[in-house]
Chain A
């Protein structure tokens, strides 16, 4: 194909290209400089994984096809892949127009066909997108006018492409060494005639100028994500998702957390440029869903907007601090404290934005700089500091639950293979003490050598860290690491996903490296090895697993001791640590248990119980309580379930509260999966009550 640019028009084209890319480039340069206001975070670890992510998430668009976004995701992927192909064609057009050169391969029939097919796919997709925006807009979707501009620009691009292609064929400007592609071939007869040359030239110019307008306009809009997603995925965090960023040398710092825009890393600012405003994070947020003032998308966009608003000021004056992001609006702290750190937003984001890290960085500022955490949260922190547990129960009472159970401490049995890290909930909450006892009974029946730390155990600091008090977390974690190392601990079992996450993923930040296993993962493998034997008629069968010997009424159980048990995914087991299958496998191995799912909120889309992120110790008085919503979901999806099983003490407390609040104690009983196992253990008396 020969470009309709001769003589002066080459210069016009060159000037237009310079202008289009100049405007766009200036903006990009400015955005880049704003971004570099952030601190230098090294994101170059694990290059192979980064490359794989780039192929799968960016090129493969893998995160777009998640339910319930399958159709939309496919439409987006078609536009995206179309764009890649068409961009190649566009580069070819411009090179050809100015220098008369060609990109190799663009002259082939295959390329013409590909471009044509994608043009059709893109046209169909933007039609779908426009119709959806105009007539079927979901309530959480934010549609800026810019969105339509972009759709129109793309539409014009595609149409002009098809027109000049057809006219080019008609005017025989295109070499006919191959069968014309379907659309171009179809329209070619329509533009055949004396005006074909003119139509070709007109459409060609429209196309090229639209491309240039696009280049100028794009960096001013959220559509910059077309470009920024590439680095954003490449530099996504390769830490375990559950691990928050460590703050080094606290003693040497003067400010803590995100006091200014400079206290976010460059990558966190890149997140803002990359947000497509698709609202998937918001759709999945349990806080937003229950009427809290938190909207994860707004968290990301607010940070971006503040950067755009105050970027110039911050660049002019190195001493300027600007508005603290945690106080960007008056309600900002309430938004931040509403987060359960469940990571549903992070999971949902197609462009790998890290919402929770930003929220925690702003919480760190509020908690450590201003000591402005909600008073109840503050009290939990004081309790952790003074009593080693968030409830302020006595340190000395930590191992009282094990009285009379002959569970050795490491001091008594230093050669135990495993340390069972009990955690605060199972140590002090009477309901969860039954879970600890159940686990002890299981481990014992499997013949596993284990011990506890007893009074030497203290809170590992998970709530403190998530509330934003990194300092207290480090003190608590360090104290535990010292205790572990005193006994040369190598293997650790936890029954609490929060303990698991902190010890497995965060202790290494302070030099504590252990082989950590969540009880359900361990029990799964013990069952598979045949070391745990369960009987249909266990010694304490008929459903009194929660230590309710009085409640043995079979009305809650299916005939023959079968019962329907729904599984609730704890966020820190599931989304944060990708342990979805082991708890399910354990449930499936329990005789008489028929496992069901809380559709559609399970596995990656599991809905938080409301306790994470320190929310367990905070008031929740705005909107519906998250745990009550969870019970609603359970009842809607599995009204027949007589139990709801989980693998987390906090989920258990929250589910118990929700069931009680809704007066459903006689219909559905919250349990821990471990209790299901313990109740069916063969040949040993159940120690779970």
Chain B
């Protein structure tokens, strides 16, 4: 079986999800890794056009793309262009009787579904689809993408000043939030350091934004943002309903609080009763090790 992986690069390196996709492809059949090359920013349409041409010639059974925002965009257009099956954001994938069988979440994560579609198929895969092999990844072959054309031109890039490289709160997979337990804005570094290690978005309880320690845009809760990340870490937040209403649908909740009666500890998957100022720096250090190893 021929499996192609469309790799995504970040700062010259294959993204982790792309490496995992390669591992998955190798597991399923003969893997070929491709990357898109263009002289300027190419649209998903231009990328899909170039890839479709290559795919029609090369006839792979399966094309894997990492389910990043750009990857999902490209994969969707490519599948439509080829008229193939499209499965998006798959957490597990196997091939059975000429069918791609995947496990993916539906209804905003409330349902876990096993779905299938006939090959050939384009599949976008989520992080964790496979263990990255120890061997060095194969060198990607290059697909040249023509400048956009087709009625769409790149004009310019506008950098977002305020959040810098930080992920927007509403879309983040990991959120680290701080509450009154931090005792003052001068201690916010604890939250920031932890968020940095995890590549997480920053959140805050209403008490904190009200007190002016943090900007209002960071407020999570009924009067702030509603978030549903895979991992929500609450530091020193007691868990009034105002806050819970904004984050209780998070998949995994970690709460750290000195007060064992804090309501948030009661709904947390991991409830840590400890002094923030001792625990958080140690935790950040531990995570730094874990993330570095990955």
Contacts and interface: CB of A to CB of B under 8 A. Distances in A.
Interface string B240-270: 1110110010000000000111010011000
22 contacts: A379-B222, A390-B222, A391-B245, A429-B240, A429-B241, A430-B266, A431-B241, A547-B261, A550-B260, A619-B216, A619-B223, A620-B210, A621-B210, A625-B210, A653-B242, A657-B207, A657-B240, A660-B180, A660-B207, A661-B180, A661-B211, A665-B259
A392 B238 contact: no
A384 B227 CA distance: 19
A391 B243 CA distance: 10
Indicate the size class of the contact surface on chain B: 20 to 34
A391 B207 contact: no
Given A376-B222, A379-B222, A393-B245, A430 B207 contact: no
Contacts of B266: 430
A625 B211 CA distance: 10
Given A428-B241, A653-B240, A551 B223 contact: no
B238 A660 contact: yes
Contact of B263 (A393, A425, A431, A618): A431
A548 interface: yes
B84 to A, nearest CB: 37
B223 A430 contact: no
B240 A656 contact: yes
B47 interface: no
A336 B257 CA distance: 38
Nearest to B259: A665
Interface string A419-442: 000000100111100000000000
Contacts of B226: 392
B222 A392 contact: yes
B261 A391 contact: no
Interface of A: 376, 379-380, 390-393, 425, 428-431, 547-548, 550-551, 617-621, 625, 653, 656-657, 660-661, 665
A376 B223 contact: yes
Contacts of A661: 180, 207, 211
B66 interface: no
Interface string B219-234: 0001100100000000
A511 B148 CA distance: 65
Given A376-B223, A379-B222, A430 B238 contact: no
A617 B240 contact: no
B212 to A, nearest CB: 9
B240 A391 contact: no
Interface of B: 180, 207, 210-211, 216, 222-223, 226, 238-242, 244-245, 248, 259-261, 263, 266-267
Contacts of A379: 222-223
Contact of B222 (A391, A425, A660): A391
Query: Which 3 pairs from chain A and chain B are nearest by CB?
Result: A391-B245, A429-B241, A376-B223
A627 B223 CA distance: 17
Contacts of B267: 430
A272 to B, nearest CB: 34
A34 to B, nearest CB: 41
Contacts of B238: 660
Contacts of B245: 391-393
Given A376-B222, A380-B222, A617-B223, A551 B180 contact: no
A618 B222 CA distance: 9
A430 B210 contact: no
A431 B240 contact: yes
A295 to B, nearest CB: 23
Contacts of B241: 391, 425, 428-431, 653
Given A430-B266, A547-B261, A657-B207, 6 more contacts: A376-B223, A391-B245, A428-B241, A620-B210, A625-B210, A660-B180
A180 B242 CA distance: 74
Contacts of B263: 430-431
Contacts of A551: 261
Nearest to B241: A429
Contacts of B239: 430
A481 to B, nearest CB: 26
Contacts of A431: 240-241, 263
Contacts of A617: 222-223
A621 B207 CA distance: 11
